[in-house]
Amino acid sequence: MDEVQVNGERTEGLNAPPPAASWAPFPPAVAQALSHLANLIDASIAVRGVGSGVRDFAATFLGVRPTELVATTTRLAAMAFQLATLAFAEELAAHPPAALIGKDQETPPRWEVLDLGDLRVPVPYSLAGGFAAGTLAPCPLVAFVDDVFDEGEFTFTIYSRAADAATAKAYLDGLIERGRARTNPFKGRVLHAVHDENFGLTFRVVDLPVTERADVVLPASVWEQVDRNVHGFFAALDRLTRAGLARNRGVLLEGPPGTGKTALCRALARELPGTTVIFCDAATIGFGVRALYRQLDHLAPALVVMEDIDLVVGDRRRGGSPQALNNFLLALDGAVSGHAGVVTIATTNDLAAIDPAARRSARFDAVVTVPAPDRRGRAAILSRYLRNVDAEVDVDVVAAHTPGATGADLRELVSRAVLHAADEERRGGAATVTTSLLLGLLDGGGAAARAGPYL
């Protein structure tokens, strides 16, 4: 397989961009002169503009006037567009175009690299290619991938002569179907959904920090509720569907900051093989949530993780954005997507800050409180953070002196102790973390050293 450079990225594979086309437009001055000359010879030939776009390129390639072209266009949301461009990239490799430009005749074609974790695949994002008869279809066609993002969608256009319009439509429909039917490289993976104002919603495969359930110290009752609403839901999905019951579920994790809500979600992500897990940041929730849920028919079964949701769907009576809330409610209800087989799990540090409309059943069916750890839990958390530290610590004693401390607080306490021990070693003392050192780092009221301000 050939190695190529795309936007500075080294990539390998069958989807590499095709070699440079042999066709090239005339220089602007020459093109303008020839156009005027043709008009002088035959007044019925209109003078064409210079630096013209894809329409004129297509007309020239197909040998017709721009007004005689037929443009067959489809609008695609983010995931469908990415799948279609993957399929089109394979066809570009199999059938290099006879002519190739960017979004106009003076702009080079543009490729983007899809980050699939173990593979980085170049796909066309802005180009027009002229294909001879017998390559993509029995007749010549011009395919145009447009990167203009408008109202949550991208466009894919096939230009043809009028007599070939049906063939052009059949090719475009087939391309979209091949994109959907191919093995979806995003499905069943852990993804980060990102909203970009220029390109809309995009997905990239991510590697999460390894988090095992045993490393997340939570009350058994919390795990029981989460397992019932997540693992149990996916196990019962067929049964729920046959019964005509809800095919989606929402779980809201609420509790003080630093209690392990994010770690819980990461542990869940490792326990759902074959399920797509999508982590969303605040920008995606606020601006791209409806687009996200429209994509889930390509990705289900799926777990959607939204952190700090109160920052986006705050109570309207407290100044929350009605538009962001409306988009969120429509997305979760499935009113704009019809998605099925999806569990949405969201976290918040302040349940009261969320608008009541977002907290009701059929949006968030279960509210699970993730509390600060009790004494036994604090001892277990300390043991976890001290297991790879040179330490002589009675974790039960330290746990007894840290009421109200969260897992994040205890991690910071151990971190400070390690820094103190390292400083002592630098001065010629012992590098061991001890019970007395940990207790000495607590404030006067016996509380754990706080990890810092939280949003």
Helical (H) or strand (E) element with 291: helix 289-294
- Provide the pLDDT for residue 410: 95
Its pTM stands at: 0.74
| Per-residue CA distances from 410 to 263, 265, 269, 414, 441 (Å) | 15, 20, 24, 6, 11
Q: Could you tell me whether strands 120-131 and 110-115 are parallel, antiparallel, or unpaired per DSSP bridges? A: antiparallel
Neighbours of 164 (CB within 10 A): 22
Q: Which residues pair with 205 in a beta bridge?
A: 191
Contact status, residue 267 vs residue 304, Cβ threshold 8 Å: no
Q: What domains can be seen in the chain, in order of their start residue? A: 3-185 (no CATH), 190-194+202-369 (3.40.50.300), 375-440 (1.10.8.60)
Helical (H) or strand (E) element with 47: none
- Given a cut of 90, is residue 37 above it in pLDDT? no
Q: For residues 111 and 94, what is the distance between their CA atoms, to the nearest angstrom?
A: 17
Q: Mean per-residue pLDDT for 289-316? A: 86
Q: Mean per-residue pLDDT for 304-312? A: 90
DSSP string over 342-408: EEEEEEES-GGGB-HHHHSTTTS-EEEE-PPP-HHHHHHHHHHHHTTS-EE--HHHHHHT-TT--HH
- Provide the pLDDT for residue 69: 95
* Residue with the larger pLDDT of the pair 448 and 291: 291
pLDDT band at 64 (very low <50, low <70, confident <90, very high): very high
Q: Could you tell me whether strands 276-280 and 190-196 are parallel, antiparallel, or unpaired per DSSP bridges? A: parallel
- Provide the pLDDT for residue 335: 57
The b/e string for 173-208 (b: 16+ C-beta within 10 A; e otherwise) is eebbebbeeeebbbbbbbbbbbbeeebbbbbbbeee
- Percent pLDDT > 90 in the chain is 49
Q: For residues 219 and 354, what is the distance between their CA atoms, to the nearest angstrom?
A: 25
> What mean pLDDT value characterizes the chain?
84
Q: For residues 71 and 386, what is the distance between their CA atoms, to the nearest angstrom?
A: 66
